[in-house]
């Protein structure tokens, strides 16, 4: 369903029926589905142009997402941590971002939920530590972290698949079934 401003003439209408009999001049109502214009190419192009102007909201230097509060889906790096630990966390950030893009594309370009992103954080951290211990030659620790990473990755995939399937059936986007 296309988004409409609250001041749109399709939402604020002249009073009619019982509202008019009751003395109302204007009424706010949801338009019937057959009166909502279908999506079109021009609207999509306008939306993409706005997105291009805003830029990528989480890129360094872009303030589009400022003042949004704390995020559960961020890997934070302690500036006082040793350099080696900071490198591992930066590696985890990179892994998480790449896997997020992959999962999003695999499931139709959907926006991943916090549940999926949280599992991806755990996967990325465990994978980064597994890589670190593997480079150090500690096979036992590398294997332990790799097993943890595998479990978190499988959970993230499972959650994303369930959400994509639910989204295809309008379970999440249309919980009341109004568009059927």
pLDDT of 136 > 70? The answer is yes
**Does 23 share its domain with 100?**
no
Which one, of 91, 63, 67, 98, lies nearest residue 77 by Cα?
91
Which residues make beta-bridge pairs with 2?
none
**Does 78 share its domain with 115?**
yes
In a domain, 179, yes or no: no
Residue pair 103/89 in contact (Cβ under 8 Å)? The answer is no
**Does 78 share its domain with 54?**
no
pLDDT at 121: 92
**Does 57 share its domain with 120?**
no
* pLDDT tens track for 8-21: 445 677 888 888 88
pLDDT of 165 > 60? The answer is yes
Which residues make beta-bridge pairs with 13?
27
Pick from 12-21, 120-129, 134-143: least confident? 12-21
Which domain range does residue 26 map to? 1-38
* pLDDT tens track for 47-98: 677 767 766 655 666 665 555 544 555 666 666 778 888 899 899 999 999 9
- CA dihedral of 104, 107, 109, 112, whole degrees rounded to 10: -50
């Amino acid at each position: 369903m296309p988004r409409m401003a609250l001041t749109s003439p399709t939402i604020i209408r002249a009073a009619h029926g019982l509202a008019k009999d009751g003395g109302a001049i204007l009424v706010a109502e949801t338009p019937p589905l057959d009166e909502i214009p279908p999506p079109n190419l021009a609207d999509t192009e306008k939306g993409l142009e706005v997105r291009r102007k805003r830029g990528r909201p989480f890129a360094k230097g872009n303030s589009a997402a400022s003042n949004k509060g704390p995020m559960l889906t961020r890997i934070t790096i302690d500036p006082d941590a040793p350099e080696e630990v900071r490198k591992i966390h930066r590696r985890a950030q990179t892994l998480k971002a790449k896997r997020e893009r992959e999962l999003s594309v695999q499931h139709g370009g959907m926006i991943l939920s916090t549940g999926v992103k949280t599992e991806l954080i755990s996967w990325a951290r465990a994978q980064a530590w597994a890589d670190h211990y593997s480079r150090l030659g500690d096979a036992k620790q590398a294997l332990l972290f790799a097993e943890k990473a595998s479990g978190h990755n499988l959970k993230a995939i499972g959650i994303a698949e369930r959400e994509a399937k639910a989204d295809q059936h309008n379970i999440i986007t249309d919980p009341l079934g109004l568009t059927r």
